[in-house]
Amino acid sequence: MRFKLLRRRLTISAPRMVLRSAMPWPLRWAGAAVVLGFCGAIGLWAFEFGKEIAGLDSGAREELLRLRADFAKLQEERDKAQSILNTSGSLITAEKAAQERLAQQIKTLESENRALRDDLGFFEKLIPSSGAEGVAIRGLQAEVLAGTQLKWQVLVLQPVKNAPEFRGKLELSVSGTLEGKPWMMALPGGPLPLQFRQYRRMEGMIDLPAHAVVKNVSAKVVEGAVSRAVQNVSL
């Protein structure tokens, strides 16, 4: 019986034995992590110590400080350039607006200057001629615009002081050629009523027929059936 038990223990048929560690696996993992961390810390310390010995760390720190200073300087210059650019843009906009206002003022002044010249010529014509009496026509002007319209202007006056009121009509006629033939026309609405004491300026527009060529414009002041003044202008 004892022999059988001994043979069973010594042969393949003997029961298997399992050896188990007394330390739990979480503690083993924690221990391994501590060992790895300690090794990493030693490696990092050795690397930093090596840089300090070689003088690399101080040079890199100085280079970093220099780069930061250069960056701050460039940023300051960029801000100044941006400020100058914004100011220049505002000045250019203001200058452009001032130029536009100045151009508009120049146009207005030119228009006023033309009006003043016209008024000056008008009032110069009001100066009485020596020995002139009765009604007179001064400054008959006519201009063809774009070949389709005639612009006319006439000044009628009594070149005497304390002149009596005049009542009459102004007749205006246009003559020339139409398609190569002699042609004449009067104001479309007929003579214009004329009433004034010292002077009267009258003006208007006449639509011309197509292909009409104006060569002469005639103005006549009529009182009743009597012609008081006539003036012609050639174009």
Annotated domain spans of the chain:
29-125, 136-234
**Token pair of 171, please?**
């007749």
Rounded to the nearest 5°, which phi and psi values hold at 18?
-115, 125
User: Can you give the pLDDT at residue 64?
Assistant: 76
Q: How far is CA 186 from CA 11, 131, 135, 137, 173, in A?
A: 153, 32, 22, 18, 4
List the CATH code of the domain at 136-234: 2.60.40.10
Q: What is the pLDDT of residues 206-231, one digit of tens each?
A: 999 888 899 999 999 999 888 889 99
Q: What is the pLDDT of residues 95-133, one digit of tens each?
A: 888 888 888 888 888 888 887 777 666 666 555 554 455
